[in-house]
C-alpha cells in the first residue's frame, strides 16, 4: 500500500511511491520524488536533545507489566494483580507500583508488533528499526544519532551503560567510529571506574600531551597512505579518549559520588547493610539509571542502558522477582528526576525489548518469546504524557486496536531528534539507503 503525503501547492494527495516513479526534472536537475523525499522528512526543530534508551534484553513480559489481563484465564493472566495508575482507566501490574504513580508523564504503546521470534533478529529489528537482512546489518538508532547530530560536549555522542550487549547496538554498515562507547564496568559495583578514563599510573599531564603530539605527527605522516574504516574508527577513538582525559567535566559525568545523599537515596542507592532482596535489587538498578541522567546532562546524545535478565522460559515469576520491581523503582526515579530538573521536556526516554512473552504460561512455569504484540514506553522529548496507544486482545496475544509497526516507532524517534528519516546514507557498494524506510511518525503521541 502506498503511503500518502500532502504537498503544498498540489490539489490532491498522492502515494509517495507514485511520486517517486515520476521523472519530472526541474531546473536543478531533481525529480519530483527527490524534492518530496527531501521535504516530507525534512529536518524540523528537534523536540529532544538527547535519548535514554532502556533496553530490557531477553523479552520483557507485557502482560506482567504494562498490559495486565485480569479477566483472562489463570494460565494467561498469571500471578500478578492489576493496580490503578495516575492515568484514569489505565492499569499496570502490581510490580509497576512506582511507575503507576508517574503514568501521567509517560506514553505506553500496547500494540507494537513484528514477526521476529529469535533474540538476535528481534534485537536487530527493535534497535535499528529494520527487519534483519542476510545481506546487510543496519546501524542502530544510537549510531544514526551519533552520525547525524554529533557530540554536544567532550563526551561521546553514543554511550552504552554498562556495556554494548548486542551487536545490533553497533554501527552496522556505517563507520564504527559512531558505535557506542561502552563503560566496561558496572556503576553498581564497588569501586566503579570507567575503563581508560584516567591517565595510567606514572603518566602525568605533560607526558600525556607529549605522547599525544607524537601520535599526531605519526598520523600526519601516514595520512593518505592508507584509509580504511578501522583506521578512521581508531582516529575517532583516540580523539574521543583524548577529549575525555583532558576534560574534568567529562570525567565528572561518570562520577556518581558527586551526587548528594538525597539524590542517591532517590535512586535507591546507599542505606544500611543487610538489606532485603528488593532493596539490594534497587541498589543494583539505581546507579545505571542515575548515570544515564548524568550523561545526558553532561552532553551525551544517545545513552543505551540494559538491565535485568528477562528470558524466562521457566520459573517466570521467580525470575522476575525482584528485578521487575527494581526496574520499576529506577525508571520512576529517572522520570521524576528529569522532570524536577527541567530535563524531561528535551530528553526522550524509551523502554523497549526485542519482543514480549507468550500469553500462556508453559508447563515449566515460564513464558516464551512473543513478538506478535507487546508494549513499549516513551516519555519526555515531545511525547504526550498520560497516553495509552493501541491495545492487545483479551489474552494479550494479538493487536486489537491501532497496531504499531517498528518502523513507525523508529521514525518517531528520529522525528523527535530532528533527524530527516528520508535522508540517504551510503551502504557498501555505494548503495544509497534511507535512514528509515516506510515509517511514519506516530502523531497521536506527539505534543
Would you kindly state where each structural domain of the chain is located, as residue ranges?
1-40, 48-189+254-445, 198-249
pLDDT of 41 reads 53
Q: What are phi and psi of 325, to 5 degrees?
A: -60, -30
- 280: confidence class by pLDDT, cuts 50, 70, 90: confident
| Local confidence band at 205 (pLDDT 50, 70, 90 cut-offs) | low
180's grid cell: 557506542
Please give the class, per CATH, of domain 48-189+254-445: alpha beta
Reply yes or no on whether the pLDDT at 419 is more than 50. yes
Res. 1: pLDDT tops 50: no
Round to whole Å and give the CA distance between 349 and 296.
Answer: 11
Give residue 230's pLDDT.
54
pLDDT-based confidence at residue 348 (cuts at 50, 70, 90) = very high
Tell me the C-alpha distance between 72 and 171, whole Å: 42
pLDDT band at 388 (very low <50, low <70, confident <90, very high): very high
Q: What is the pLDDT of residue 263?
A: 97
Instruction: Check residue 356 and give its pLDDT.
Output: 99
B/e letters for 67-80, b = 16+ CB within 10 Å, e = fewer, are bbbeebeeebbbeb
pTM value surpassing 0.75: yes
In this structure, what is the dihedral angle of CA atoms 74, 107, 444, 49, given to the nearest 10 degrees? -150
Pick 75 or 276 by higher pLDDT. 75
Q: What integer pLDDT is reported at residue 278 of this predicted model?
A: 74
pLDDT confidence of residue 108: 99
Listed residue (266, 258, 387) closest to 337, CA to CA: 266
CA distances from 430 to 33, 62, 421 (A): 20, 41, 19
pLDDT on residue 195 = 73
Check pLDDT > 70 for residue 33: no
- Which cell numbers hold the place of 422? 528520508
Q: Which residue has the higher pLDDT, 354 or 239?
A: 354
State the pLDDT at residue 432: 95
Average pLDDT over residues 98-104: 98
Bridge partner list, 55: 306, 352
The Cα–Cα gap between 435 and 430 comes to: 15
Amino acid at each position: 500500500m502506498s503511503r500518502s503525503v500532502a504537498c503544498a501547492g498540489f490539489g490532491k494527495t498522492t502515494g509517495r511511491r507514485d511520486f517517486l516513479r515520476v521523472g519530472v526534472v526541474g531546473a536543478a536537475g531533481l525529480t519530483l520524488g527527490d524534492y518530496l523525499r527531501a521535504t516530507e522528512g525534512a529536518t524540523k526543530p528537534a523536540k529532544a536533545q538527547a535519548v535514554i534508551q532502556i533496553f530490557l534484553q531477553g523479552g520483557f513480559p507485557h502482560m506482567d507489566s504494562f498490559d495486565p489481563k485480569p479477566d483472562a484465564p489463570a494460565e494467561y493472566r498469571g500471578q500478578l494483580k492489576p493496580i490503578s495508575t495516575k492515568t484514569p482507566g489505565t492499569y499496570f501490574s502490581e510490580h509497576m507500583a512506582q511507575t503507576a504513580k508517574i503514568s501521567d508523564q509517560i506514553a505506553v504503546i500496547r500494540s507494537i508488533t513484528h514477526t521476529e521470534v529469535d533474540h538476535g533478529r528481534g534485537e536487530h529489528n527493535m534497535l535499528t528499526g529494520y527487519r534483519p537482512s542476510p545481506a546487510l546489518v543496519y546501524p542502530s538508532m544510537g549510531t544514526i544519532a551519533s552520525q547525524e547530530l554529533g557530540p554536544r560536549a567532550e563526551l561521546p555522542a553514543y554511550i552504552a551503560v554498562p556495556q554494548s550487549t548486542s551487536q545490533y547496538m553497533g554501527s552496522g554498515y556505517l563507520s564504527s567510529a559512531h558505535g557506542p562507547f561502552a563503560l566496561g564496568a558496572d556503576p553498581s559495583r564497588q569501586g566503579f571506574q570507567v575503563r581508560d578514563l584516567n591517565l595510567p599510573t606514572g603518566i602525568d599531564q605533560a607526558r600525556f600531551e607529549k605522547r599525544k603530539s607524537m601520535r599526531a605527527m605519526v598520523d600526519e605522516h601516514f595520512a593518505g597512505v592508507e584509509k580504511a574504516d578501522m583506521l578512521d574508527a581508531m582516529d575517532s577513538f583516540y580523539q574521543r579518549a583524548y577529549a575525555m582525559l583532558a576534560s574534568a567535566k567529562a570525567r565528572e559525568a561518570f562520577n556518581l559520588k558527586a551526587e548528594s545523599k538525597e539524590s542517591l537515596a532517590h535512586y535507591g542507592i546507599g542505606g544500611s547493610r543487610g538489606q532485603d532482596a528488593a532493596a539490594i535489587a534497587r541498589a543494583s538498578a539505581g546507579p545505571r539509571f542515575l548515570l544515564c541522567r548524568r550523561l545526558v546532562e553532561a552532553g551525551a546524545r544517545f545513552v543505551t542502558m540494559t538491565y535485568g535478565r528477562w528470558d524466562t522460559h521457566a520459573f517466570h515469576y521467580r525470575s522476575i522477582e525482584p528485578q521487575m520491581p527494581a526496574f520499576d523503582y529506577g525508571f520512576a526515579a529517572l522520570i521524576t528526576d528529569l522532570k524536577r530538573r527541567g530535563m524531561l521536556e528535551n530528553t526522550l526516554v524509551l523502554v523497549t525489548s526485542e519482543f514480549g512473552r507468550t500469553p500462556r504460561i508453559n508447563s515449566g512455569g515460564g513464558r516464551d518469546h512473543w513478538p506478535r504484540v507487546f508494549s513499549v514506553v516513551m516519555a519526555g522529548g515531545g511525547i504526550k504524557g498520560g497516553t495509552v496507544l493501541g491495545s492487545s486482545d483479551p489474552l494479550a496475544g494479538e493487536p486489537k486496536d491501532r497496531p504499531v509497526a517498528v518502523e513507525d516507532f523508529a521514525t518517531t524517534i528520529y522525528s523527535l531528534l530532528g533527524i530527516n528519516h528520508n535522508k540517504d546514507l551510503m551502504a557498501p557498494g555505494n548503495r544509497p539507503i534511507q535512514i528509515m524506510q516506510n515509517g511514519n511518525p506516530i502523531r497521536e503521541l506527539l505534543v
